[in-house]
DNA sequence: ATGCCTCAGCTCCTGAGA
């Protein structure tokens, strides 16, 4: 099975690109983030016509997540149970026995800000939710836009960006705490080219200069780890006209 | 230069993203 995650930065704008990409990359599950549309505007018919089932959790202007899958997702849960949140950031469902959590982690803006504090609380709540889900679903994939880099290798300018948002020790602590639940970063299971990123700033020719960050991740449970065949970041869509600032990440798991 | 793009919306500027 192939699993992919893609922050599309407005599904209304990016729908044709998503459909094109799915046609060339017929993955089994695609997690989308930053839909930036309300539930009634979700283009369910377009995905149905493309042979995909959809579950979604939209929001006006900001956030919004979805799971697009070849076979319908079961046991769908929206956001983090027990964590009061007015933003639509998480959608969970089971596809072919694999529990899939698609998540749009908070940006956090800047260390010390209210939004950073919210990010920390959200990360603590997410970890509890993932731990609960792992207890009943040994086959689990946690994927999405994490808005956190693991270490310097994920950052185009580690010195210049040290301790800035996405690169702080506090954020990385939470990322390691997710790993400590028994999850593995599928990207690092394989030899990867240096300076491999998943996001590039729209400004200042960020993509052309490969000034990016690796902040979109696919973490897999310990039962899935030995079954992971590949993990690739597809820079193709970033070369489109009017691209998302993020590229899709794709993992192939023999399950 | 708290900017440089891009997107949404109470749209001709502002907030947010990362």
Cα–Cα–Cα angle for A196, A26, A233, nearest 5°? 0
Judged by C1' against the alpha carbon of A165, the nearest nucleotide is B18
Q: What is the pLDDT of residue A166?
A: 98
Q: What is the pLDDT of residue A128?
A: 98
Tokens of A43: 């283009």
CB-CB neighbours of A77 under 10 Å: 17
In the set A104, A146, A245, A252, the catalytic residue is A104
**Predicted local distance difference test score (pLDDT) of residue A126:** 98
pLDDT of residue A146: 98
Of the candidates A169, A165, A168, A231, the residue with the CA atom closest to the CA atom of residue A201: A165
* Options A145, A216, A245, A252, the catalytic residue: A145
Question: Is the CB of A217 less than 7 A from some atom of nucleic acid strand B?
Answer: no
Report chain B positions within 7 A of protein CB atoms: 4-9, 16-18
- Nearest nucleic acid nucleotide to A60, CA to C1' distance: B8
Evaluate if the CB of A190 falls below 7 Å from strand B: no
Q: Is the CB of A216 under 7 A from strand B?
A: no
- Are A43 and A29 in contact by the 8 Å Cβ rule? The answer is no
A118 is catalytic: no
Q: In degrees rounded to 5, what are phi and psi of residue A146? A: -80, -20
Q: State residue A115's pLDDT score.
A: 96
Prediction pTM value? 0.98
> Is A242's CB less than 7 Å from nucleic acid strand B?
yes
Rounded to the nearest 10 degrees, what angle do helices A114-136 and A169-180 cross at? 10
Separation of alpha carbons A173 and A3, rounded Å: 26
Q: Nearest protein residue to B7's C1' (by CA)?
A: A10
Mean pLDDT per block of 10 residues along chain A (255 residues) reads 98 98 98 98 98 98 98 98 97 98 97 96 98 98 98 97 97 98 98 96 97 98 98 98 98 98
A145 is catalytic: yes
Using only C-alpha atoms, chain A has a radius of gyration, in whole angstroms, of 17
Instruction: Report the nucleotide nearest the CA of residue A242, measured to C1'.
Output: B6
What's A77's DSSP letter?
A: E
Q: What is the pLDDT of residue A56?
A: 98
């Amino acid at each position: 099975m192939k699993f992919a995650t893609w922050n599309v930065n407005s599904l209304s704008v990016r729908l044709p690109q998503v459909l094109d990409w799915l046609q060339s990359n017929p993955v089994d599950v695609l997690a989308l983030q930053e839909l930036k549309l309300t539930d009634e505007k979700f283009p369910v018919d377009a995905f149905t016509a493309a042979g995909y089932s959809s579950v979604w959790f939209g929001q006006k202007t900001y956030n919004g997540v979805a799971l697009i899958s070849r076979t319908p997702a079961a046991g769908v849960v929206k956001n983090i149970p027990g964590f009061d949140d007015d933003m639509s950031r998480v959608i969970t469902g089971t596809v072919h026995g694999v529990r899939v959590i698609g998540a749009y982690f908070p940006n956090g803006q800047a260390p010390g800000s209210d939004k950073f504090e919210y990010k920390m609380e959200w990360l603590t709540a997410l970890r509890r939710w993932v731990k609960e889900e792992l207890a009943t679903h040994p086959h689990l994939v946690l994927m999405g836009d994490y808005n956190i880099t693991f270490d310097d290798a994920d950052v185009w300018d580690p010195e210049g960006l040290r301790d800035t948002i996405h690169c702080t020790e506090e954020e990385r602590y939470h990322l390691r705490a997710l790993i400590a639940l028994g999850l593995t970063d599928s990207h690092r299971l394989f030899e990867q080219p240096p300076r491999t990123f998943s996001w590039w700033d729209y400004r200042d020719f960020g993509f052309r200069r490969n000034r990016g960050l690796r902040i979109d991740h696919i973490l897999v449970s310990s039962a899935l780890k030995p079954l992971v065949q590949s993990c690739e970041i597809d820079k193709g869509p970033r070369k489109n006209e009017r691209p998302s600032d993020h590229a899709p990440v794709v993992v192939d798991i023999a399950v």
